[in-house]
Chains A and B, each alone.
Chain A
Amino acid sequence: MNNGIISRLSLRRYHVQIWLFVVPFLLGAMVLTILPALATVAVAFTNYNAVAAPTWAGMDNFMRLLSSVYVRISLRNTIYFLALAVPLRLLGALLLALLLQSERRGFGLHRAAVYLPTVIPEVAYALIWLWILNPVYGPLNMLLAGLGVQGPAWLTEPGTARFSIVLLSLFTIGEGFVILLTGLRTIPRSYYEAARVDGATAWQSFWRITLPLILPWLLLLTFRDMVISLQNTFTPSFVLTYGGPYYATTFVPLLLYELAFDFFDFGMAAALLLFTYLVIGLIIMGILNLVGSERGADDF
């Protein structure tokens, strides 16, 4: 009995200690992530220059957003980027995962090679592309010339500059690739064997087994990529073109940076952020709705 009391006491002590283990993380996350994020939401409705106390502005910032030509350009660029980069990155990651999931000899190396560009530091990666895309010194136009194609000027023309930012995002798909490899491995081999016994072709088993079972992973990746790859336009557009030429590569994160840290218009910057992620949230809900109505919501 005595023993029981002691162990109950020690158990309680253990539980207190366990809570203390979580405290540093919760405190850090609270101070450095949750509070800043909440404050950003609140400040979107105020005038705030980061020095004087914020004053209530209601919807003013949002009205200014809608009438600002720079905001309109940056939103258009961002939507262009999302509409092109997210599906292409997803498709690329899926194709690579399907092709390279094999356990044959040498495929470990192929998988490593595909992942490698993803770990290159962003600035170095941007500088490498600055060189690759250079019309005179860069290897890309030399390769194109070898094929008899006159390469464009890339970063000095608005259209090709905007596309360049998409292009360089297509080779950093390692994370999606690994996540989909993991997803593919969760599909039991026996499904494919049963399908083969029933005489299904590889194409059929892809559409009937692989795709439906990997769909939740694909959706998750799509949503993640919409947030992350948008964020990842910052460094390339900062280093390669600084938003130019003619604002062609001014995406929301860069404009946000300019508004907040060059003009100290925190209110407007916060409103832009809120508006952008509201739009992204709506797109995500739209996709969920579309998929949900087609397959029945019970899959989620």
Chain B
Amino acid sequence: MKKLKSMIHHSLGWVLTAVFLLPLLWVLVASLRQVGLPPPTTVEWYQPDPQWQNYQTIFERVPMTRYLQNSLVVVATAVPLTLIIASMAGFGISQLPVRPRRQLVYVSIALLIVPAAAVWLFRFQILRWMGLLDSLWALILPAFTGSNALFVLLFYWTFRRIPGEMFEAAQLDGATAVTIWWRLALPLARPTIVGVTVLTFVMYWSDFISPILYIFSPRYYTLAVGLQILNQLDRTNWPLLMAGAVVMTAPVILMFFILQRFFLHDLSLSNLFEKN
């Protein structure tokens, strides 16, 4: 009986894995299909004659290289900036006396609740007044908010769990706050740094709404917009569209495999919630 239950449990796990993963396999297979072939009669599980040049074709049809470059510039700037701003804020909040500390935690939580659409209209205006509309800075700027108040809170929770005596001892030795943050606190926050890096990467890499709202010149388009352009160019050229989707998704999945060690295994996330 117990054995049967365990078997059912295991097979259920595999069924769920299949449901969530198989579509991705189909996409990969579809991206290698010959362009212009009549529709298949059944679901295709593999491609007898994989057309790898589909991946080359999308770079020729639209300026994919330019889009890719822009996306990389945005990510390469926004991720380190986010790490600095969010870890500094998290560290600062964790070192403040009780009252301001609590107030700032509440402010961060309140920031989490603000719906993204609520800032669309006036971010547009503020970017215009700053002269940053229609530039890659329009996409990078949210890094100055720590990208997401959750990241500030994650750093805050991490630093709160480090015994305060450590920081006090360093203070008495005359260490400045910057030294303590950089030399003492950050090395102890490695899992949080990795987690926030991955989440921030995914956030900026995938961002579709900001370029739609704030970018008008094709030379500043990112990969997300490029995919939509590819879609508008030829809505039924499935092999090319799926190749585009794969190019956009592959780096994120790579990042995800780094992330899942930190978020899905063991207890790292639950540790963060237990003590704050």
CA distance A287 to B23 in the complex (A): 36
B46 interface contact, C-beta 8 A: no
The number of chain B residues with a CB under 8 A from chain A is 99
Question: Does residue A31 face the partner (Cβ distance < 8 Å to B)?
Answer: yes
Binds B, one of A12-20, A62-70, A159-167, A203-211: A12-20
User: What is the distance, in angstroms, from A239's C-beta to the closest C-beta of chain B?
Assistant: 6
Closest approach, in angstroms, between the C-beta of A12 and any C-beta of chain B? Answer: 11
Within 8 A of A (CB), among B95-119: 95-96, 104, 107, 111, 113-119
What A residues does B146 contact at CB under 8 A?
25, 28-29
Q: Which of chain B's residues have a CB closer than 8 A to the CB of A110?
A: 13-14, 16-17
Q: B202 an interface residue at 8 Å Cβ cutoff?
A: yes
- Judged by a CB distance under 8 angstroms, whether B43 is at the interface is yes
Q: Are A32 and B144 in contact (CB under 8 A)?
A: yes
Contact B89–A117 (Cβ < 8 Å): no
Q: Is there contact, CB below 8 Å, between A131 and B241?
A: yes
Contacts of B252 in A (CB 8 A): 119-121
Q: Which residues of A contact B17 (CB under 8 A)?
A: 109-110, 113-114
Tell me the bound Cα distance from A19 to B242 in angstroms.
Answer: 49
B267 and A231 contacting across the interface, CB-CB below 8 Å? no
Report chain A residues within 8 Å CB of B220. none
Bound Cα distance from A186 to B122, whole angstroms = 41
* The stretch of A35-43, A81-89, A191-199, A288-296 that contacts the partner chain: A35-43
**CB <8 Å contact, A35 and B40:** no
Which residues of the partner chain A approach B273 to less than 8 Å between Cβ atoms?
Answer: 182, 186
Q: Which one of A18, A100, A235 contacts B208 once the chains associate, using CB atoms below 8 Å?
A: A235
- Tell whether B74 is near chain A: CB-to-CB under 8 Å: no
B61 to chain A, nearest CB (A): 15
Chain B contact residues, majority secondary structure: helix
Interface centre among B114, B121, B141, B249 (most CB of A within 10 A): B121
Known contacts A114-B16, A137-B40; A32/B141 CB under 8 A: yes
Contacts of B244 in A (CB 8 A): 124, 127
> Given A21-B92, A104-B9, are A134 and B115 also a contact pair (CB < 8 Å)?
no
Is B206 in contact with A35, judged by CB distance below 8 angstroms? no
Q: Please give me the residue from chain B that is nearest to A184 by CB atom.
A: B270
Say yes or no: B224 contacts A121, CB within 8 Å: yes
The interface-forming segment of B48-56, B170-178, B186-194 is B170-178
Interface string of B240-276 (1 = CB under 8 A from A): 0110111011001101110110011101011001100
Complex interface bits, B194-209 against A, C-beta within 8 A gives 1, otherwise 0: 0000000010011011
Distance, CA A185 to CA B270, complexed state (A):
7
Q: Which of B92, B117, B122, B142 contacts A22 (CB 8 A)?
A: B92
Q: Is B135's beta carbon under 8 Å from chain A?
A: no
Write the nearest CB–CB distance from B107 to chain A, whole angstroms. 8
B89 A7 Cβ-Cβ under 8 A: no
Q: Once the chains bind, are A122 and B39 in contact (CB under 8 Å)?
A: no
Q: How far is the CB of B212 from chain A (nearest CB, A)?
A: 8
Give CA–CA (A106, B10) in the complex, Å.
Answer: 8
Q: Assess the A123–B238 pair: CB atoms within 8 A.
A: no
The residues of B that contact A283 with a CB separation of less than 8 Å are none
User: What 4 A-B pairs have minimum CB-CB distances, sorted nearest first?
Assistant: A21-B92, A28-B144, A36-B122, A25-B89
Q: A21-B177, A120-B252 are in contact. List 18 more A-B contacts (CB 8 A).
A: A10-B171, A11-B171, A21-B88, A24-B85, A25-B85, A28-B143, A39-B125, A99-B16, A111-B264, A115-B264, A121-B206, A121-B252, A131-B242, A139-B26, A146-B42, A178-B263, A186-B270, A260-B121
